[in-house]
Amino acid sequence: MTARPRRLARIAAALAAGATLLAVTGCTQQGDGSTSHAASATATSTAPLRTIAAKAGLRVGVAVNTDQLADSAEYAKLVGQQFSTVTPENVMKWDATEPKLGTYDWTAADQLVAYAQQHDQLVRGHNLVWYQQLPAWLTAAAPSMSADQLRQVLKDHITAEVTHFKGKIWQWDVVNEAFDDTGQLRDDIFLEKLGPGYIADAFRWAHAADPDAKLFLNDYGIEDAGMKSTAELQFVQDLKSQGVPIDGVGFETHVDSTYAEPDLETELMRFAQAGFDVAVTEADVRAQTPIDADQVKTQSGIFADTVSACLDVPQCISYTIWGLDDKDSWVPSTFPGTGGATLYDEDLKPKPQFAAVQKALARGVATAKKRVK
Ligand code: XIL
């Protein structure tokens, strides 16, 4: 695969930005302007991502497995040390929060929110409406509910959850993966029973419960130009023009490194120019196992490019990685034969992908003035 001109430009920028990384990590240069390899390696391994990202005006996040957070001191330490925003990987989803109709369980999600507050982190709430991980009672009952009944159940769920966390959530993924792979609204139980208006309703109900939270539509497969991203852009523009309280669009960014790299920056920019905040919400970069050094290089380059894409778009307010480490990643069980998709290995040691993200963030420090918070 030949590198695209844009990638080459970034490699050049990366080399030029070496000094920036040293500056933000507090490493001093020798009198002759050179820096020893050892000094630069130390700087690279000790500068937390969140510290560098803050200087670039960006929040960097991770999807948290709350069982690991409770059980592993090392896992918990890294989550607090490296990231300035957290996303619950599963514990704010409908099946976890409303195990019986009208009976709520916030225990695990509350623990994560408390952890985030103790570590000066913001929370991405994920998610309020999704066709997956619905509670069994809802999946069983929904087909025989009337539209009014299902609308009420949906409204009650969104209102209860957003009210419970009012004032504690920075961004909510209000509706998750609402489009299918062809760019049509997904033919799920909500569309079937309620029609497309359920999406506008969901945003209005969420806004009524917490007017200060930023409300996002979150999806995969919109990281490159195509039918899906074009349809979704049109859709959110329509929502906005109708006065629906939507603030942003989340780009999941689950990348398979064996395929052509998505042109994420162009897509982030298209949505940003239409007046939306954007965020990279679930970044991971998988490769076919066993993974060799060349694949690691490719994965590292893709991570760096997606971080740079976000940094280059002032409205890109956060960059979140889906899972702290390869042991806890959803990738191997979801895409058999692939793995290695996160920044840390199975023993919680940082991989070259970590250093690549670190360097890409450092490059953003130079352009920080252009960014909005
Ligand atoms: C995944 C979790 O990582 C898994 O643990 C769970 O079994 C299934 O869901 N898009 C999303 C996330 O929006 O919520 C999904 O998370 C990954 C794909």
**Ligand 1 binding pocket, CB closer than 6 Å:** 89-90, 176, 252, 282, 330
Distance 45 CA to ligand 1 centre (A): 29
Contact at 8 Å (CB) between 115 and 93?
Answer: no
Q: How many CB atoms lie within 10 A of CB 258?
A: 12
Note whether residue 193 is domain-resident: yes
Strands 338-339 and 277-288 turn out to be antiparallel
Q: For residue 17, what pLDDT is reported? A: 42
217, 282, 324: residue to mutate for ligand 1 pocket, most atoms within 8 A of CB: 282
Note whether residue 132 is domain-resident: yes
Per-residue confidence band for 46, with pLDDT thresholds at 50, 70 and 90: confident
Note whether residue 35 is domain-resident: no
66, 90, 326: residue to mutate for ligand 1 pocket, most atoms within 8 A of CB: 90
Strand boundaries in the chain, DSSP class E: 59-64, 85-88, 122-129, 171-176, 214-219, 248-251, 254-256, 277-288, 316-321, 338-339
Nearest residue (CA) to ligand 1, atom 7: 330
Contact at 8 Å (CB) between 194 and 205?
Answer: no
Report d(CA 296, CA 319) in Å as an integer.
20
Backbone angles phi, psi at 169, to 5 degrees: -115, 130
Report d(CA 264, CA 224) in Å as an integer.
6
Nearest residue (CA) to ligand 1, atom 4: 330
Nearest residue (CA) to ligand 1, atom 15: 89
Whether the bond between 336 and the residue before it is cis, its omega within 30 degrees of 0, is: no
Atom of ligand 1 nearest to the CA of 176: 13
pLDDT above 90: percentage of residues in the chain: 86
Atom of ligand 1 nearest to the CA of 254: 18
Per-residue confidence band for 370, with pLDDT thresholds at 50, 70 and 90: low
Note whether residue 256 is domain-resident: yes
Which range marks the domain in which residue 261 is found? 49-370
Distance 44 CA to ligand 1 centre (A): 30
Note whether residue 145 is domain-resident: yes
Q: pLDDT (tens digit, 9 = 90+) per residue, 327-339?
A: 999 999 999 999 9
For CA atoms 43, 46, 51, 52, the dihedral sign is: positive
Note whether residue 13 is domain-resident: no
Is the pLDDT assigned to residue 32 strictly greater than 50?
no
| Enclosing H/E stretch for 19 | helix 18-25
| Positions marked catalytic | 177, 282
Q: pLDDT (tens digit, 9 = 90+) per residue, 174-184?
A: 999 999 999 99
Q: For residue 368, what pLDDT is reported? A: 73
Note whether residue 30 is domain-resident: no
Residue 285 one-letter amino acid:
V
Q: For residue 11, what pLDDT is reported? A: 41
Distance 322 CA to ligand 1 centre (A): 9
Residues facing residue 344 across a β-bridge: 325, 350
Distance 313 CA to ligand 1 centre (A): 26
Our CA dihedral for 324, 339, 343, 264, rounded to 10 degrees, sits at -100
Is the pLDDT assigned to residue 36 strictly greater than 80?
no
Contact at 8 Å (CB) between 179 and 186?
Answer: yes
Q: For residue 283, what pLDDT is reported? A: 99
Q: What angle do CA 186, 329, 359 make, to 5 degrees?
A: 105
Strands 254-256 and 59-64 turn out to be unpaired
Task: Write the burial class of residue 58 (CB in 10 Å: 0-12 exposed, 13-18 middle, 19+ buried).
Answer: buried
Note whether residue 346 is domain-resident: yes
User: What domain count does the chain have?
Assistant: 1
Q: What angle do CA 56, 59, 62 make, to 5 degrees?
A: 135
Per-residue pLDDT averaged across 76-85, rounded?
Answer: 98
CATH code where residue 284 lies? 3.20.20.80
The token pair that represents 192 in the structure block? 């079937």
Nearest residue (CA) to ligand 1, atom 5: 330
Per-residue pLDDT averaged across 108-129, rounded?
Answer: 98
Distance 133 CA to ligand 1 centre (A): 9
